[in-house]
Structure 1
Amino acid sequence: MENFVVSARKYRPSNFKSVVGQSHITTTLKNAIKNNHLAQAFLFCGPRGVGKTTCARILAKTINCQNKTAEFEACNTCDSCKAFNNNASFNIHELDAASNNSVDDIRNLVEQVRYAPQQGLYKVYIIDEVHMLSNQAFNAFLKTLEEPPSYAIFILATTEKHKIIPTILSRCQIFDFNRIQINDMAEHLQYIAGEEKIEAEEEALRLIATKADGALRDALSIFDLIVTYSAGNKLTYQETISNLHILDYDYYFKVVDALLEGSIAKVLLIFDEILKKGFDGHNFIVGLSEHLRDLMVCKDESTIQLIQVSETIKKRYLEQSTSASLSFLLSALNISNQCDIHYKGSKNQRLHVELALMKMAKLPYAIALAAAADELKKKA
């Protein structure tokens, strides 16, 4: 029986082309290699799971590759690339600063820097979670970082750039990694599903991408979890919302329909059903705020692109947005936002949400009344 390899490792990018959603970084690095404009110290910053360490490893492999491709990618066939792929390269050193953050650890690294590479052009030092180094360790590292030997390249990676002392920042070429867009993530998940012979619904993959909040590694972990849960070659939207314990879009559409009808009874019964299914009132009100926001951006053709859902769900948003006035959506959004802000401080949290829903249900009547009053004023 083969050992299972998680998708985050199995499909880890091996060249710049396969990196997802960071084209501004990969293009710059490839141009630096092409024009021989490599800095001696790089700082890769950004949230977790967006490809900082992966890009550092690809850069380290590519600059030592003996037969680079026409696109300045690593060939993966030369001795240097093979050694790197087998974790046997003597030119690439990785240090986890989270557990090796003392002055002695940095002194050992500085000592290694003195020795030129036996094979290849560069010795590359990748220091992960560099913000975890102590102040004394940073100071011990300063001189080497400022005047390293010509063959040494340092790549520092961090999720918390603000914790790094300015004297280190000033010695590095800084690259800021973006959160990965939902569309890019969903496309990558679709590719992996195809490779693994898994039939995946588009909406399920989009939901996983949304839940991952910009971190591709998180998306791949969730993907593996749902595939294991479904125990087959199908990944459905229903199984995904069931496993991740996420409220279905349908509930929010039903709630807004009831609010537009002005039916307090309907909206309270839907909320009761949601609570009986084990969902949290706070998550519901946050989700309702997001739904109202998405309806509001659908009111203008130029902002429709701001909602990242499948075409089927987008049509439903457009249909419902035509029934709701902008005044209703803005007022309802304000009420739900206030409910969210004061939720944790409330003694009776269910009643707190119900009161917000009742206020929203009376908005169409209040707006119609205000409009009628304006008409009377105009006539008078």
Structure 2
Amino acid sequence: MNCVKRSISLLVAMCMFGGCSLNVIAAQKYENAQDTYAKEMVGVYLSGTDYETLEGVSLSEAVNLYDLESGAKYGSEYIAFYDESIVGLLYVANNEGEFYSSWRNGPFEGLQRLVKDSSEFAIGFTDEDGVVAYSNNTIYNMYSGEEICKNTDFYKSIESDKVYPVYDSLCEYAVTEDAELSSDIYNLNNGVQTTSVGIEDIILDVTPVANETYNNQGLCWAAAIAAKYNYTIDLDDDNESPYVTASQVRTAAAQETGNNYTAGTPKFITAGLKHYGLLHSYMYNTMNATEIYRELYWKNPILMDLFTSTGTGHTVLLCGIKFLSSNTAKYYIADSDYTKNGLVEVYVNSSVFGNGDEFVYVSDMLPSNYGMLSSKWGGTYSYKFES
């Protein structure tokens, strides 16, 4: 049985991840610029957690990331440990001399077992099971350790290695938060913050909804609407409506438009929002940090369309923001292709705080020939509260 197949839906259902850039010119200062970038990003992603001092935190060397169908390498993963336990997975991609990253929190029981057993393994992508571990001709679920497929000897080009903590002196990369921040984010016009106090982090308790397919097209846009609607149910103690799925949202959008061919376009997204009572506004461009913060303050997660330079797209739900300094932050994103271990974290710098600026979003779910390394916000969807 061929357990690795590619579907057209992958082109639509592309996942999210992270957006800081570090020019490779840093290689003039460091022997390995990517490893240095990875250490810096571990400090960023663990800031504000129980591990923020990085004491006891270590990092593996880069683990090759493969498209398991073609055998092509298209990125690197770094495994972060606290003592011997895996606390997170850092994906790093290099695009034209700049590094980009994303972070997923642990636990990863499947990876933990392979590390403990001193097994040689690589990490790779399949469209049926997402990002998986590959060891000894067998594919494993990284989260549960479940054996997915055996005797996959057609992956002869995959190079596996033992993985263990290597970089164990990371304290110098710890990130401490500013006590007070001076930023345009204060200009909220709603009395939420003033320049005399720090900026409160906002991370909404949103549960990602799984992506599905319909007629070989991904329903990431419908999954994002479902996650948004399900969150509003949780906010209302008197609302006993059942949670909805991506397929149910697609059906609702089809009913609203009278067109059963539903795709992630403004027409169908706004129809889906309307059906579930999520009054919306649509802006074809990037929201700035002030607008994002205001929406999240009013407990309003934001749908974002992301597009590659070739026009391929993916929709995710922005659910939180945590400021690290006056011009850097972490975004928290519900992505329908990552429904385990909560929200995906994305580092952003000041370049994304203005209207129209680029927000790069990379994903370890994406084979290199469709590399989503130059994504821009195609649109943002929100809804206005009735006065």
TM-score, shorter chain, exceeding 0.5: no
Bigger Rg, which one: 1
| TM-score, length of structure 1 as denominator length | 0.24
**Higher normalized strand content (fraction of residues):** 2
**Higher normalized helix content (fraction of residues):** 1
Larger RCO of the pair (alpha carbons < 8 Å, separation 6+): 2
